[in-house]
A and B are shown apart, each in its own frame.
Chain A
Amino acid sequence: MRYAPLTVPIIKRGIFLAATGLLLAGCQSSPSTLNPQGPAAARISDLTWVLFVVGGAVYVIVMALLLYALFRRRATTQSSGPPGRERWIIWGGIGLTAVVLLLIFGFAVNTLVAIARPDTADQLTVEVTGHQWWWEVHYPDEGVTTANEIHIPTGEPLEIKLKSQDVIHSFWVPELHGKLDLVPGQTNTFWLQADQDGEYWGICAEYCGIQHAKMQFVVVAQPPAELERWLQAQSQPAVTPTEPQAVRGQEVFMEANCGECHTIAGTAAGGELGPDLTHLASRRTLAAGVVENNRGNLGGWIIDPHGIKPGNLMPATPLSGEDLQALLAYLEILE
Chain B
Amino acid sequence: MDATTQSPPARSHGEADIAVTGESEAKQLERTWADPPGLFGWFRALQNDEVAKRIMGTAFTFFVVGGILALLIRLQLLSPESTLIGPDTYNELFTMHGSTMMYLFVVPMMEGFAILILPVMLGNREMPFPRLGAFSWFTMAMGGVLFYVSYLFNAVPKAGWFALAPLSGPEYAPGIAMDFWLLALGVAEVAAIAAGVEIIIAILRMRAPGMTLSRMPMYAWAMLVTAVAILFAFTPLMVGSLLLELDRKIGSHFFNPALGGSPVLWQHLFWIFGHPEVYIQFLPATGMVSMIVPVFARQKLQGYTLIATAVIATGFMSFVLWVHHMFTVGLPQVTMTFFSAASILIAIPAGAQIFAWIATIISGRPVWKTPFLFVIGFLVIFVLGGITGVMVGLVPFDLQAHDSYFIVAHLHYVLIGGSVFPIFAALYYWLPKFSGKMLSERLGRWNFWLMFIGFNLSFFPMHIAGLLGMPRRVYTYSPGLGWDLYNVLATVGSWILAAGVLLFLINFFYSLRYGEPAPENPWQADSLEWGTATPPPNYGFAALPVVRGRHPLWQQERIHGEQTRTEKLMKALSKWPLTWRAALTTTALEAKPEEIFRVSGPSIWPFVTAVGLITIFAAEIFTLRALVGLGILVIIVGIVGWHWPDDVDTPAEEEEAFEKEHGIPVSTGSSRAVAKWSVGLALLIIFIALASFVFSYIYIRLVNSAWPPANIPLPNLLWPAIGTAVLLASGGAVRWARAGIATGKQNHLRLGLALTFVLGAVGLGLLIYAFSGLSFNWQTHAYGSIFYMLGGYALLIITSGLLMNLFTQVWSWLGRYSAKRHVAVANTARFWYGTLVLWLVVFFTLYLSPHIW
Contacts and interface: CB of A to CB of B under 8 A. Distances in A.
Given A69-B361, A97-B347, A183-B264, A108 B464 contact: no
Given A31-B469, A184-B166, A112 B302 contact: no
Interface string A43-76: 1100110010001001100110110111010100
Given A167-B172, A208-B167, A184 B400 contact: no
B403 A205 contact: yes
Of A23, A80, A109, the most chain B CB neighbours within 10 A belong to A109
Nearest to B168: A167
Contact of A89 (B86, B362, B388): B362
Given A30-B481, A55-B388, A207-B472, A93 B395 contact: no
A227 interface: no
A240 interface: no
B328 A178 contact: yes
A26 B483 contact: yes
Interface string A93-118: 11001100100110011011101100
A245 B142 CA distance: 64
Interface in A19-50: 22-23, 25-34, 41, 43-44, 47-48
Given A55-B391, A108-B397, A29 B359 contact: no
B400 A44 contact: yes
A93 B354 contact: yes
Interface in B1-33: 2, 4-5
B333 interface: yes
Interface centre among B159, B171, B263 (most CB of A within 10 A): B263
B394 A105 contact: yes
- What's the dominant secondary structure at chain B's contact region? helix
Contacts of B361: 66, 69-70
Nearest to A188: B330
B348 A97 contact: yes
A134 to B, nearest CB: 15
Contacts of B380: 63, 66
B473 A210 contact: no
B476 interface: yes
Contacts of A43: 396
A213 interface: yes
A312 to B, nearest CB: 10
A168 B356 CA distance: 43
Contact of B359 (A32, A47, A86, A186): A86
A204 interface: yes
Interface string B319-353: 00000000011100100110011001101100110
Interface string B398-440: 1111111000000000000000000000000000000000000
B87 interface: yes
Interface residues of B, number: 89
B844 to A, nearest CB: 28
B483 A101 contact: no
Interface string A1-32: 00000000000000000000011011111111
Given A207-B164, A311-B87, A78 B4 contact: yes
Contact of A174 (B306, B400, B476): B400
Contacts of A136: none
A205 B471 contact: yes
Contacts of B391: 48, 51, 55
A104 B401 CA distance: 17
B358 A89 contact: yes
Contact of A311 (B88, B383, B402): B88
A122 interface: no
A188 B264 CA distance: 13
Contacts of B773: none
Contact of A44 (B5, B164, B396): B396
A176 B157 CA distance: 34
B724 to A, nearest CB: 35
Contacts of A74: 365
Contacts of A209: 91, 167, 172
Contacts of A80: 299, 363
Contact of A180 (B330, B337, B396, B461): B330
Given A34-B467, A105-B341, A207-B164, A90 B359 contact: yes
Interface in B371-395: 376, 379-380, 383-384, 387-388, 390-391, 394-395
Contacts of A204: 471
Contact of A31 (B160, B172, B399, B468): B468
B813 interface: no
Interface in A162-205: 162, 166-168, 170, 172, 174-175, 177-181, 183-186, 188, 201, 203-205
Interface in B165-202: 166-167, 171-172
A251 interface: no
Contacts of B264: 183, 186
B340 A105 contact: yes
A132 B159 CA distance: 14
B41 to A, nearest CB: 47
Interface in B619-672: none
A283 interface: no
Interface string B494-530: 0000000000000000000000000000000000000
A58 B461 CA distance: 20
A321 interface: no
A284 interface: no
B303 interface: yes
Nearest to B306: A90
B455 interface: no
Contacts of B732: none
Given A112-B395, A207-B472, A97 B365 contact: no
B395 A207 contact: no
Contacts of A179: 328, 399-400, 402-403
The 9 closest A-B pairs by CB, nearest first: A178-B399, A185-B257, A26-B482, A93-B355, A30-B482, A213-B474, A31-B469, A188-B330, A108-B394
Given A63-B380, A97-B348, A174-B469, 15 more contacts: A30-B469, A31-B468, A32-B467, A32-B469, A48-B397, A55-B390, A89-B355, A90-B352, A93-B351, A168-B166, A168-B263, A178-B400, A207-B472, A207-B473, A213-B473
6 contacts: A48-B467, A51-B394, A112-B333, A188-B330, A201-B469, A203-B469
